[in-house]
Structure 1
Amino acid sequence: MSLTHEDVTPGLVIQLDTATLRAHGGAQTNAVLGPEGDRSVVGTQDFLIVGVDAPAGWCTGVPLFAKTAVGNQPLENDKKSGHAEQWIGTDTFFSRWQHWRMPIASVVAASAGDPATAATRRRYAATDRSALDDIKNWEGRNRAAYRDAV
């Protein structure tokens, strides 16, 4: 089932095609861009939506990873809900150093390949807004400024 604008809410975990996200334009990331290259995620990637400004048509999300790396922090398993396969009971991490600001319309378009239905959508911290705020607050401490995701 297709994702709608109304489905994009804090705590949503959604698989996004970053090529589609970039092609639609307007997305920004604060992932490090240095001499060794662009650290922003590419390909198909799970994202956790940590903030939404529905009137402005924007949301903030962080990519999720199955393995830890320097700067990554684990998600708490007891805050996960939704389709369990490769979600509940598995290690999941977010990078404190990579946030994305994305037009909601671009998120909807980039989510076309997500296999979830409205009944099986994954969520994180559905009843704990402070947990999402803690993740979003890393945005202000990031080492890099936001830039266009191209």
Structure 2
Amino acid sequence: MSFSHEDVTLGLVVQLDTAVLRSLGGCQTNAVLGPEGDRSVVGTQDFLVVGLDAAAGRCTAVPLFAKTAVGNQPLENGKKSGRAEQWIGTDTFFSRWQHWRLPVASVVAASADDPATNADRRRYAATDRSALDDIKNWEGRNRASYRDA
């Protein structure tokens, strides 16, 4: 079930098709792009919305991972809510070194395959804005500048 513009709020966890995001344009990432290649995520990926500029119609999100890697940090299970399958009680990590700036309209368009319903949308830190700010603040410490995705 896809999302509407109003559903894109701080703490939302949504499955996005990065090919759709790239095809729509207007998306940026600060993932490292170096001689060894592009480190930005590809394919279908869960993202956590950590920043929202409703007036500009844009948000900042980080991709989520089931396994840790260098530069990844775990999410606290106690701050997760929504559909339990592959979310509640499972290890989930975000990369401190990869943020995406996305038009909200692109999030809506790229979320068509997300299995959530209105009753079980996944969220993180729904009542803890400081936890989301802590994740977003890594954006300013990133080694790479934003570029088109």
Aligned to 1:99: 99
Q: Deviations over 1:62-92 (max 9, x none)?
A: 0000000000000000000000000000000
Q: Deviations over 1:31-73 (max 9, x none)?
A: 0000000000000000000011011010000000000000000
**1:116, 1:40 → 2: CA distance?**
24
**1:96, 1:2 → 2: CA distance?**
27
How many angstroms does 1:20 deviate by?
0.3
Q: Answer with 101-110 or 1-10: which moved more.
A: 1-10
**2:107, 2:146 → 1: CA distance?**
18
Aligned to 2:57: 57
TM-score (ref. length: structure 1): 0.99
Structure 2 gap ranges (5+): none
Identity %: 86
Aligned to 1:19: 19
Secondary structure at 1:15 match in 2:
strand
Question: For residues 40-55 of structure 1, what are the structure 2 equivalents within 5 Å?
Answer: 40-55=40-55
Secondary structure at 1:78 match in 2:
helix
TM-score (ref. length: structure 2): 0.99
Secondary structure at 2:109 match in 1:
helix
Secondary structure at 2:49 match in 1:
strand
Partner letter of residue 87 of structure 1? W
Aligned to 1:128: 128
Runs of 4+ in 1 over 4 A off after TM superposition: none
Count of equivalent residues: 149
Q: Deviations over 1:7-38 (max 9, x none)?
A: 00010000000000111110000000000000
How many angstroms does 1:2 deviate by?
2.4
Aligned to 2:88: 88
Aligned to 2:4: 4
**2:103, 2:72 → 1: CA distance?**
25
**1:24, 1:106 → 2: CA distance?**
7
Secondary structure at 1:144 match in 2:
coil
**2:106, 2:126 → 1: CA distance?**
23
Secondary structure at 1:119 match in 2:
coil
Secondary structure at 1:6 match in 2:
helix
